[in-house]
Chain A
Amino acid sequence: MVSTVSDNHLIERISEGDMTSFDTLFYRHYDRVYGLLFRLVGNRVEAEDITQEVFLKLYHHAFAKKLFGSNREHNIGAWLYRVATNMGYNAIRGRKRRWMRNVWLVPDTDDTPRPDMELERMETKTAVRQALARLPKRQTQLLLLRQMGLSYAECAEACDVAPGSVGTLLARAGEAFRKAYQEEVNK
């Protein structure tokens, strides 16, 4: 029988100096954290960099929990998604400040010529990102996490909302997205 050590137990071990527990957590969550960040920032290098920062925060988090005697257990995955979303938005805001463009969630495009199909796909992607950028952060976060396959309970914890309200909030977010997307396409 294979037993899986819980995330919270691994956090406890990290605070005692067990680096292999950190490795386990990293391997366990790396792909999904990156996946969320890539969806947010749309740029591989930037998503990888922020993923590293998120896990650095996780490492510090483990020690702070120990240091101040916090025994509160929580869903580490949800915690990571929450941190990743906020850091992703920070990066986007920084990008906005740097380039003085009122464009969020739209990655830089290069000037490489592309086949028509790819061009069309890029345009669709841009419209989707533009539409997401017009939504409140929590709606965007909720939609992306759900699209990644998270359960309602996981979405609730990551977005800091009541589990019972996720269905309604998702429906509203979906509606807001469809409206925003239509407006983007009609531009």
Chain B
Amino acid sequence: MNQRENELDDVMEQLSILEPTAAESPRPAGPALADLKPQLQPRHNLINTFLRSLIMSQNRRMATAVATLVILFTIAFSFPAVRAAANEFLGLFRVQKFAAISISPDQIAILEEVANSGLTPGELVIVNEPGRTQDVDSLEETQAITGLSVRSLSALGEPSAIRVMDGGDGRLIIDAAQAQELLRLAGADPRLIPDSLDGASVDVNVFASVEQEWLDGTFLIQTESPIVNYPEGLDPIAMGEALLQLLGMNPTEASRLARSIDWTGTLLLPVPQNVATFSEVTVDGVSGLALTSVEGYGSALMWQKEGVVYILSGPSQTAELIELASSIE
């Protein structure tokens, strides 16, 4: 055994003092597992529902494409890495328009692994938790609760259900080293997050949204655009470039595209290429984004008009949804 190995053995011996003693042993695995089980169930159901509807039951139409959309958002934004990028991104804009970028299953798998690595881009402080949903009886009531001028689809008549989801607010206190590590793990250039951002705060305020549902599976969601205060010195193009690299774009292409996008008003939506296709459309008199399920489960439209963001989805073709959107009032 050489000197180097001997020295390492000595270190290992020193470190053995950190081993748990009998008194420090964990409780048995059985009770620990029993405690964990209840936490597994909701996710299990959620994902199974998604899998059944989206992947496994290919012959069964999804009740509504908005479920896909919402789940896509949920999944995408449940990845800290993506959420981090989104938070950085949200910090730069109020939604003026939507754009989409195709993301490959391989890149999603990488992001998912990064997300599960436990790294976070900083400390997420939720001041008011968003997401509490309440059923309401009328559009007038939603207006009173949210302050929104709620519009509806006259072509479909009265919605079968109306819900209001609470807004919320919070902030991300950036840990530059960890954010850089996240980028590195995802194959992006960590230098796009400058050290100077360490400790900076991105404040996000999300407003209440109104969801209307019809019996044929059509959904209309509307909400005021989120407001974000972002740290001074944050370079929107560099952040956009980081986001594009995070989504799998090569550095040259990301750099080129980042300079062509108005990051102060464009919400970039990552669309898994095995789940949906997208195109730019004119809807409600403005430019919007259309998403179509590759499995034929339905379509969704997203657009912004007069400061309000709309998502319309249903088990229909894009053209039918655009036609339906023309009845919005």
Contacts and interface: CB of A to CB of B under 8 A. Distances in A.
Interface of A: 17, 19, 22-23, 26-27, 30-31, 34-35, 38-39, 42, 44, 47-48, 51-52, 54-61, 63-70, 72, 79, 82-87, 90, 93-94, 97, 121, 124-125, 128-129, 132, 143-144, 146-147, 160, 170-171, 174-175, 177-178, 181
A128 B15 contact: yes
A169 to B, nearest CB: 11
A50 to B, nearest CB: 9
B11 interface: yes
Interface string B58-81: 000000000000000001000000
Contact of B15 (A27, A47, A54, A144): A144
A39 B19 contact: yes
Contact of B18 (A30, A39, A97): A39
21 contacts: A30-B29, A31-B29, A34-B20, A35-B20, A38-B19, A47-B26, A54-B118, A58-B116, A59-B44, A64-B108, A64-B112, A67-B75, A69-B105, A72-B109, A125-B18, A144-B18, A147-B15, A147-B18, A160-B185, A174-B8, A181-B14
Interface residues of B, number: 48
Interface stretch (B32-40, B131-139, B220-228): B32-40
B8 A38 contact: no
A94 B125 CA distance: 12
Q: Top 8 nearest A-B pairs by Cβ distance?
A: A86-B118, A70-B109, A87-B118, A174-B11, A39-B18, A68-B108, A147-B15, A64-B112
Interface in B117-145: 117-120, 123
Interface string B1-36: 000100110111011111110001011010011011
A128 B51 contact: no
A175 B5 CA distance: 11
B43 interface: yes
Contact of A51 (B11, B32, B44, B117): B32
A185 to B, nearest CB: 11
B106 interface: yes
A46 B18 CA distance: 15
The secondary structure that dominates the B interface is helix
B207 interface: no
B15 A143 contact: yes
A61 B112 contact: yes
B274 A48 contact: no
B47 interface: yes
Contacts of A94: 123
Contacts of A51: 26, 32
A56 B24 contact: no
B320 to A, nearest CB: 28
B50 interface: yes
B118 A68 contact: no
Interface in B75-112: 75, 105-106, 108-109, 112
B35 A52 contact: yes
Contacts of B190: none
A68 B113 CA distance: 12
B19 A174 contact: no
Contact of B11 (A19, A63, A143): A143
Contacts of B39: 52, 56
A145 B184 CA distance: 23
Given A68-B274, A70-B106, A181-B14, A48 B36 contact: no
A17 B7 CA distance: 48
Contacts of A178: 7, 10-11
Contacts of B29: 26-27, 30-31
Contacts of A97: 123
Q: Name the residue among A26, A65, A94 with the largest chain B CB count within 10 angstroms.
A: A26
A63 B17 contact: no
B272 interface: yes
Contacts of A86: 117-119
A87 to B, nearest CB: 4
A172 B108 CA distance: 35
A18 to B, nearest CB: 11
